[in-house]
Amino acid sequence: MKLADHPAAQAQGRHIRRLSPPNVKITWRGDYARRAGGLEDLPVLKTLLAGLAEPGHRDLLVISDVARLFKHMTLEKRRDLRAALERHGASIYDASRGCLLKNMSPDLLTLLQFHGLADQSVRHPIRGAKRRTDPGRTAEASTKSREMRGLQADQKAEALQAIRAEMTALHGAEPTLTAVANEANRRGLFTTRNRPWTASTVGRTLRRLQGAP
């Protein structure tokens, strides 16, 4: 089976086509790596980035969700990939967040960079084995997990803020929370619990940017 014929790849392709900027002609390219440990495991992406470095290029690289690229990488590889992506930020579009990489805040880029790190910190390597209780390590893992849940919530808030700003610029007036929720759901951006947005969850999440509880 070709990669383009795989159901998961087809679903991702539909996601990209639905959320890409208007009037963009799409040529689908894809990498397959269950656990990409670095850019070297994503040869198609590496080739496309090299193309963006060529003088006079006019291509726009649309990625379904930039955060997913980082999920299984070490900290060093995450830094390397972020640097490689940022070099071409004006030509890379994150479909899930509806914006160019260059328009993302440094804080949002950091949240994308550390996507999935909490899952790695609490994963047990041997299934079915008896787990020994280590209070120190358990407390450390819990702290990291809480921190990453907070980072992921901040990431959602940044994404919602970007959607609200885009809608405000487009319509000349700030949208309602319901309108932001509907647009976020249309783009496939869900809550940290993977549920559709409502006006109340949008309002509560956006308040994180003002430091409100």
Please tell me whether residues 99 and 146 are part of one structural domain. Answer: no
Predicted TM-score (pTM) of the model is 0.52
- % of the chain surpassing 70 pLDDT: 69
pLDDT in tens, 22-58: 666 666 677 676 778 899 999 999 999 999 999 888 8
Please tell me whether residues 92 and 167 are part of one structural domain. Answer: no
In a domain, 44, yes or no: yes
Burial tier of 208 (Cβ tally within 10 Å: 0-12, 13-18, 19+): middle
Residue 184 to residue 19: CA distance in whole angstroms: 11
In a domain, 130, yes or no: no
Main-chain dihedrals φ then ψ at residue 92, nearest 5 degrees: -120, 125
Please tell me whether residues 12 and 94 are part of one structural domain. Answer: yes
- Residue partners of 16: CB distance under 8 A and separation at least 6: 26, 28, 62, 63, 64, 95
Q: Which is higher by pLDDT, 134 or 152?
A: 152
Q: Which is higher by pLDDT, 150 or 102?
A: 102
Domain count along the chain = 2
Residue 99 to residue 82: CA distance in whole angstroms: 16
Q: How many CB atoms lie within 10 A of CB 7?
A: 8
Residue 3 has pLDDT above 60, yes or no: no
Please tell me whether residues 78 and 146 are part of one structural domain. Answer: no
pLDDT of the residue at 174: 93
State the average pLDDT over residues 136-154: 68
pLDDT of the residue at 22: 65
The β-bridge partners of 62 are 93
In a domain, 191, yes or no: yes
pLDDT interval class at 1 (50, 70, 90): very low
pLDDT in tens, 54-71: 988 888 888 888 988 898
In a domain, 128, yes or no: no
Please tell me whether residues 70 and 5 are part of one structural domain. Answer: yes
Residue 125 has pLDDT above 80, yes or no: no
Residue 145 has pLDDT above 70, yes or no: no
Three-state DSSP at 67 gives helix
In a domain, 14, yes or no: yes
Residue 117 to residue 5: CA distance in whole angstroms: 30
In a domain, 119, yes or no: no
Most confident of 95-99, 102-106, 118-122: 102-106
pLDDT of the residue at 157: 86
In a domain, 22, yes or no: yes
The residue to which tokens 């249309």 are assigned: 186
pLDDT of the residue at 124: 43
Please tell me whether residues 79 and 159 are part of one structural domain. Answer: no
Domain that holds residue 201: 141-213
